[in-house]
Structure formats: C-alpha cells, structure tokens
Amino acid sequence: MREPYGVLNAGEWSLWCRTCLWRSAPRQANPQAFKAARAEADAEWRVHQCVQALGAPAQRPQGVGPVPLPTLEVA
C-alpha cells in the first residue's frame, strides 16, 4: 500500500506509513489550522522514502526478528 493513513489523536493530526514505523510530526487539528496541518503532513509524506511503501520488495537484514507493531495508547 502506497498511501499513508491519517490519525487524529487528542486533537493532533499525523500521517502514518502502512509499511514501516514512520509517522509525520503531530500537529494541532483545530478547525482553523487543520488544512495547514494536512498540507504539512502531506509534504512530509512526499519526502518519506520507505522502500516498502514505494512498492519495492522488502529487504530485511538476516537475523532480524519480526517487525514490532507500534503501540498507541489513547485515553
């Protein structure tokens, strides 16, 4: 999957990569700043160079265990 997914958590917006642990910086998502927050996160995504997200086969170093899943705690 080449597209990131958006996460709105405690009033902060960020984009997360579907194939690695990358995520954009969280930004305030109030109604006045949300459009700018999305544009900045989209710009960070365009800079992100995840080989897996670009559709290339994953190449993991030998001896490395499974990829840990990110933990997100939401109160």
List per-residue pLDDT tens for the chain, 75 residues long: 578 899 988 888 899 998 888 899 998 888 888 888 889 999 999 888 776 555 554 444 455 555 555 666 665
| Residue 70 located in a structural domain | no
| Residue 53 located in a structural domain | no
Cα separation, 59 vs 2, in Å, equals: 17
Q: How many domains does the chain have?
A: 1
| Residue 59 located in a structural domain | no
Q: Say what the pLDDT of residue 53 is.
A: 52
- The pTM of this model reads 0.61
| Residue 10 located in a structural domain | yes
| Residue 28 located in a structural domain | yes
Cα separation, 37 vs 41, in Å, equals: 6
